[in-house]
Amino acid sequence: MSPALRSAVKAVAEDQWAPYGRSDSEVTRECADVEFVPNEYSEHKDLQPLRYVAVRIRHKQGGLLEEAMEDRHCAVLTNIREWKASRLLGWHREKAGTIEAVHDVLKNELAAGVLPCGRFGANAAWLRLAILTHNVLTALKRLALPAELLQARPKRLRFLFFNTAGRRVHHARRTILRLASNTKRLAEYLAALQLLPLRA
């Protein structure tokens, strides 16, 4: 954040700030639109100015703690002008959560942090497979799984779905799969199969 942008954020009127996201016992989060035009000479004359949306993180303890004296600010630049600031920030954070969380999942749960060998091509293929797995799991959560599993990490999905024990039984000219799971989880399996766009 440049000094000029910080000054513009601090100049926003108090009644312009609106609650945003979850506030906990220590901080409150608020957002507001900021009237700011950067002084950039390389900008094309026909371009529309970008919209600046600021986020203010304020400690509830006020000035009791030394580190809580100053509010923290950050800003998001966008060309979307129709949405409310809170909706825009929610969509922005939803695209990948935070990239650090995606890196953590890739490295620690999908084995992208442990490369298989010293050859560049093999390591690149390994990393691509980890990213494909992450994308497939994200699509599965968004398309087919219940809403409470939208933030589930691969380890949780593995224990809830992928590692479910089962027994294949042949009886009366039929093949039956008996799963070691409860009826609620079986209903979720069937609902997911109906929602997934499977092709023969």
Return phi, psi of residue 57, to 5°: -110, 115
pLDDT of residue 165: 86
Question: Helices H, strands E: what count in the chain?
Answer: 6, 6
pLDDT of residue 200: 46
Tell me which of 65 and 101 has the higher pLDDT.
Answer: 101
d(CA 41, CA 115): 45
H or E element in which residue 174 lies? strand 174-179
d(CA 150, CA 9): 33
Average pLDDT over residues 26-35: 84
Share of the chain above pLDDT 70, in %: 86
Strand partners, 88: none
d(CA 35, CA 66): 30
d(CA 67, CA 57): 13
pLDDT higher than 80, residue 155: yes
d(CA 167, CA 176): 8
pLDDT of residue 154: 92
* 80 contacts 51 by C-beta, under 8 angstroms: yes
pLDDT higher than 90, residue 11: no
* 59 contacts 53 by C-beta, under 8 angstroms: no
pLDDT higher than 60, residue 65: no
Average pLDDT over residues 171-192: 84
Average pLDDT over residues 98-118: 87
Q: What pLDDT band is residue 191 in, cutting at 50, 70 and 90?
A: confident
> DSSP secondary structure string, 14-74?
GGG-EE-S---SSEEEEEEEE------TTS-TTSPPPEEEEEEEEETTTTSSGGGSS-EEE
Q: What pLDDT band is residue 127 in, cutting at 50, 70 and 90?
A: very high
pLDDT of residue 44: 62
Mean pLDDT of the chain: 82
Average pLDDT over residues 47-70: 72
Task: For the beta carbon of residue 111, count every other beta carbon within 10 angstroms.
Answer: 15
pLDDT higher than 90, residue 130: yes
